[in-house]
């Protein structure tokens, strides 16, 4: 199976932690997925601050388009927070055929239906379990197992 390629929007405290965990656990992730995960691009306004994480040359960019419009990126992980510009970036990434992962509670509470509808129309997924119940996998259970239950 070919590599699953992802990009990050935001490289602050959470983004840095995501990259550290990814790098530390790459072998375990590959074993469980049966495929390698590859970090392709990170977009952040601040590309000068040393975050203590080693990145390949060219991975860090100040231009969000390098993630959301990049044909090599399969999954966009939104780590910006708030409503805007996170919503606009997510909707554009979806329009470009990218799957989305976010833990943005505020965004999903207010604009979740619009984002999910856009994703359904494009045939991509929006994963946001971590935004609900501290990461308890309740959304997938409701969506997949209780959809016919009123």
Residue 134 lies in a domain: yes
pLDDT of residue 129: 66
**Residue 99 banded pLDDT, cuts 50, 70, 90:** very high
Residue 150 lies in a domain: no
Lowest mean pLDDT across 21-25, 119-123, 137-141: 137-141
120-145 mean pLDDT: 63
User: Could you tell me the two tokens for 79?
Assistant: 């780590």
For the entire predicted model, the pTM comes to 0.84
The total number of structural domains in the chain stands at 1
What sign has the CA pseudo-torsion 99, 9, 40, 53?
A: negative
Residue 76 lies in a domain: yes
Domain residue limits at 56:
4-145
- Candidates 65, 77, 4, 57; CA nearest to 34 is 4
Other beta carbons within 10 angstroms of residue 67's beta carbon come to: 26
**CATH number for 61:** 3.40.50.720
Residue 72 lies in a domain: yes
For helices 105-122 and 86-95, angle between their N-to-C axes, nearest 10 degrees: 10
Residue 98 lies in a domain: yes
pLDDT of residue 130: 57
Other beta carbons within 10 angstroms of residue 39's beta carbon come to: 19
Residue 32 lies in a domain: yes
> CB of 134 within 8 A of CB of 105?
no
pLDDT digits 0-9 by tens, 104-126: 989 999 999 999 999 999 999 99
What sign has the CA pseudo-torsion 117, 123, 15, 58?
A: negative
Residue 125: phi and psi, rounded to 5, are -105, 150
pLDDT digits 0-9 by tens, 34-92: 899 999 999 999 999 999 999 999 999 999 999 999 999 999 999 998 999 999 999 99
> CB of 124 within 8 A of CB of 76?
no
d(CA 78, CA 129): 13
pLDDT of residue 25: 92
């Amino acid at each position: 199976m070919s590599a699953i390629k992802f990009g990050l929007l935001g490289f602050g405290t959470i983004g840095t932690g995501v990259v550290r965990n990814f790098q530390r656990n790459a072998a375990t992730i590959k074993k469980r997925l049966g495929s390698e995960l590859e970090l392709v691009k990170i977009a952040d306004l601040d590309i000068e601050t040393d975050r203590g994480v080693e990145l390949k040359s060219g991975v860090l960019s100040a231009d969000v388009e390098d993630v959301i419009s990049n044909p090599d990126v399969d999954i966009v992980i939104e780590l910006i927070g708030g409503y805007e510009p996170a919503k606009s970036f997510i909707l554009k990434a979806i329009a470009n055929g990218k799957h989305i992962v976010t833990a943005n509670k505020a965004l999903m509470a207010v604009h979740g239906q619009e984002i999910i509808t856009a994703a359904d129309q494009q045939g991509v997924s929006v994963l946001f379990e971590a935004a609900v119940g501290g990461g308890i996998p309740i959304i997938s259970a409701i969506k997949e197992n209780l959809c016919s239950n009123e």
